[in-house]
Amino acid sequence: MSIRERLSGNEAVAVAMRQINPDVFAMFPITPSTEIPQYFAQYVADGRVDTEFICVESEHSALSACIGAEAAGCRAVTATSSAGLSYMNEVLYVAGSLRLPVVLAVANRALTGPININHDYSDSMAERDSGFIQLYAENNQEVYDNYLMAHRIAEHPSVRLPLMVCLDGFITSHAIENIELEEDDTVKAFAGQYHPENYLLKKKNPLAVGPYGISAYYMEARVAQAEAMKNARRVITDVAEDFERTFGRKYGLIEEYRMEDAEIAIVLMGSSAGTAKAAVDGLRAEGVKAGVIKVRVFRPFPGPELEKALKNCRAAAVLDKSEGFSACGGPLFAETAGALFNTSCGLKMIDIVYGLGGRDFTVSAAKSVFERLRQIVKTGETGPVYSHMGERTNAL
């Protein structure tokens, strides 16, 4: 039976970690993820977990320790944000290429410069090609649920890839919301135990981890890693279906909101989805056929699901909470446009970069995006395909 509680997103992650009881937690603090190891350290002190809790000297070392633990057959976790994730850059790729299912909680925060501690996705988007599966949450409940599913996805024999559970810094990480927690025993049964088939410290048939990959073998290893990411699509869906059977909450690679007859739509990620949904409700009351698509899983990218969801739309705006500096759009737009290329989906599509460094995204701002889409449908002209929204001007 679910337990009603009020928790921040950071505490929800720590509770999920406690219930799963990992073998190793290697930590180094950075705002706004610091509360996660702080809460977990209390569980260690109180004897509520058996986890080896390691305080290291940097984020690079935190993930390195997790890689060593996973290579030795342990279930390992850590948490970070922003520059901490960037400092892990080298070993993110190591974890992915060695097929070690570390689960990393990321409280998303803008990257320097200038220095900013508020939310956008510049940190995790910078690591989108590192080989990590990436899950994004709209609210604290989804953060908790994503974490409960994370280890089963990452550790599946056909996947064996590291995974990021992403939550919006301060917006989700620190805000307290009503949440449904599950019983400890039920969570442990759902997550299961980690029994890797092959690992570094086996008594029988020991193996090397991280050997030099000469030209004759490197590409094959990368292709196998790419195939594992493809396999993750099915595994994420299968685990979500079992999650629904067990706990009653339903998840997919994307979430469609009032898309059944939508002619115009916004595609976005994370907590902004709630704001966009409120705007849609208001527009629907006025007879406007608007909808929202929330991308929950960025890696592997849900291209077929987006194509199906958008097939009847006439215009869509992709909202990027990260500046890709490509001069033609952000990363979510690039992925979405790439997924729809050479398909029968003939809608007009634009990209709007918004919310950088914690800049507010309001219901009225969402409605202004829908108004622009209505004008595109009316005139057939997209105007600038790539633009920014919410920046200050010199106008009084």
Per the CB < 8 A criterion, the answer to whether 148 and 82 are in contact is no
Q: Taking CA 103 as the corner, what is the angle to CA 256 and CA 49, rounded to the nearest 5 degrees?
A: 120
* CATH assignment of 254-388, among 3.40.50.920, 3.30.450.20, 3.40.50.300, 3.30.1360.30: 3.40.50.920
pLDDT in the model for residue 395: 45
Cα angle 39, 44, 46 (rounded to 5 degrees) comes to 95
> What's the pLDDT at 245?
98
CA distance 302 to 286: 31
Which CATH number, 3.40.50.150, 3.40.30.160, 3.40.50.970, 3.40.109.10, labels domain 3-247?
3.40.50.970
Tokens 């997103």: give the residue.
9
**Digits of tens for pLDDT over the chain (396 positions)?**
789 999 999 999 999 999 999 999 999 999 999 999 999 999 999 999 999 999 999 999 999 999 999 999 999 999 999 999 999 999 999 999 999 999 999 999 999 989 999 999 999 999 999 999 999 999 999 999 999 999 999 999 999 999 999 999 999 999 999 999 999 999 999 999 999 988 888 888 877 778 889 999 999 999 999 999 999 999 999 999 999 999 999 999 999 999 999 999 999 999 999 999 999 999 999 999 999 999 999 999 999 999 999 999 999 999 999 999 999 999 999 999 999 998 877 899 999 999 999 999 999 999 999 999 999 999 999 999 999 999 988 543
To the nearest 10°, report the CA torsion of 324, 330, 332, 335. -80
> What's residue 138's pLDDT?
98
Place of tokens 């599946």: 156
> Cα 96 to chain center, whole Å?
16
The answer to whether 3-247 and 254-388 have equal CATH topology is yes
What is the DSSP pairing of strand 290-295 with strand 254-257?
Answer: antiparallel
Would you state the pLDDT for residue 396? 37
| pTM of the full structure | 0.97
Q: Which 8-state DSSP code applies to residue 322?
A: S
What 8-state DSSP symbol labels residue 357?
G
Residue ranges per domain, the chain?
Answer: 3-247, 254-388
- Asked whether 332 and 293 are in contact (CB, 8 A), the reply is no
Q: Are 276 and 268 in contact (CB under 8 A)?
A: yes
